[in-house]
């Protein structure tokens, strides 16, 4: 099975900082990658699909890039409401697998 | 608008069977363009896809290797729902369980149930 590895596992940044989270697939998955945001007690929310397609209603400070095995989620200007855990997930073929998550906090 | 409503017990004894149901509104369990999944989430295992069922002239099933010997996902066309059965549970199966929909390979999950915390304990 293809494994998804995220880094860092946690980070703290100041409001307004640029934040970058990486996700690496153990084999190529083309652009079949999603980024999810999960806040405490909530169902994960889809931010980005197809590696870089921002979902409707998601703030433009979120962006995604990459293809093949290396992907990046960027928050261009961190806001207090962005405190959450972020997951990458491959969906090219079963089994669907998630990264272990990256916890984003505010300094 | 598709809605997924989960139901089932929140407490299961070790060695017994965990059973959850996901009732679908706004779509059909036998739609030939979507698939129906179960996912769980725990601190130790993170987000883990368990399996799915979908209809393409006949029913198909895919299961995660980690639970393949213990899991069954059943569609119920009469009630427009699908269920998860996980037998021989241990405390390691304690988790939030979610049902989801996807529009097939190359599409991410687009609808989620509300989640059910299932605790395995005597």
> For residue range B75-107, what is the model confidence (pLDDT) as tens digits?
999 999 999 999 999 999 999 999 999 998 789
Average pLDDT estimate for A99-103: 97
Q: Which two tokens stand for residue B73?
A: 């996902």
pLDDT < 50: residue spans in chain B:
none
* Structure confidence at residue B100 (pLDDT): 98
Residues 43-82 in B contacting A (C-alpha not used; CB under 8 Å): 46-49, 52, 62, 64-65
Q: Does B8 touch chain A (CB under 8 A)?
A: no
Select from A49, A95, A100 the Cβ nearest to the Cβ of B108.
A49
**Burial annotation B30-55 (CB, 10 A radius, 16+ → b, else e):** eeeebbbbbbbbbeeebbbbbbbbbb
Question: What are the angstrom distances between the C-alpha of A93 and each of A18, A96, B62, B108?
Answer: 32, 7, 11, 11
CB-CB under 8 Å, B47 with A46: no
Q: Does B96 touch chain A (CB under 8 A)?
A: no
Overall residue count recorded for chain B in this entry? 122
Question: For chain A, percent helix, then strand, then coil, each to nearest 5?
Answer: 5, 50, 45
Overall residue count recorded for chain A in this entry? 107
**Phi, psi of A81, deg, nearest 5:** -75, -5
Mean pLDDT of chain A: 97
Q: Does B42 touch chain A (CB under 8 A)?
A: no
Alpha-carbon gap, residue A35 to A47, rounded angstroms: 6
Locate all alpha helices (DSSP H) within B11-113, ordered by sequence: none
Alpha-carbon gap, residue A99 to A87, rounded angstroms: 6
* Structure confidence at residue B105 (pLDDT): 76
């Amino acid at each position: 099975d293809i494994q998804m590895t995220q880094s860092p596992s946690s980070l703290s940044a100041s409001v307004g900082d640029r934040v970058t989270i990486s996700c690496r697939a153990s084999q190529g998955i083309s652009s079949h990658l999603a980024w999810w945001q999960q806040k405490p007690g909530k169902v994960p929310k889809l931010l980005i699909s197809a590696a870089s397609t921002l979902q409707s209603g998601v703030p433009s400070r979120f962006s995604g890039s990459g293809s093949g095995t290396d992907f990046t989620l960027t928050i261009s200007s961190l806001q207090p409401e962005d405190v959450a855990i972020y997951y990458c997930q491959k969906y090219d073929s079963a089994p669907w697998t998630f990264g272990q998550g990256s916890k984003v906090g505010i300094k | 608008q598709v809605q997924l409503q989960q139901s089932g017990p929140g407490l299961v004894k070790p060695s017994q069977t965990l059973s959850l149901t996901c009732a679908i509104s706004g779509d059909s369990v036998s739609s030939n363009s979507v698939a129906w999944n179960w996912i769980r989430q725990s601190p130790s295992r993170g987000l883990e896809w368990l399996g799915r069922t979908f209809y393409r002239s006949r029913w198909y099933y895919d299961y995660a290797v980690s639970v393949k010997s213990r899991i069954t996902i059943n569609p119920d066309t009469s009630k427009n729902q699908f269920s998860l059965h996980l037998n021989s549970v241990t405390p390691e199966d304690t988790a939030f369980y979610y049902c989801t929909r996807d529009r097939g390979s190359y599409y991410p999950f687009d609808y989620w149930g509300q989640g059910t915390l299932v605790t395995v304990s005597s």
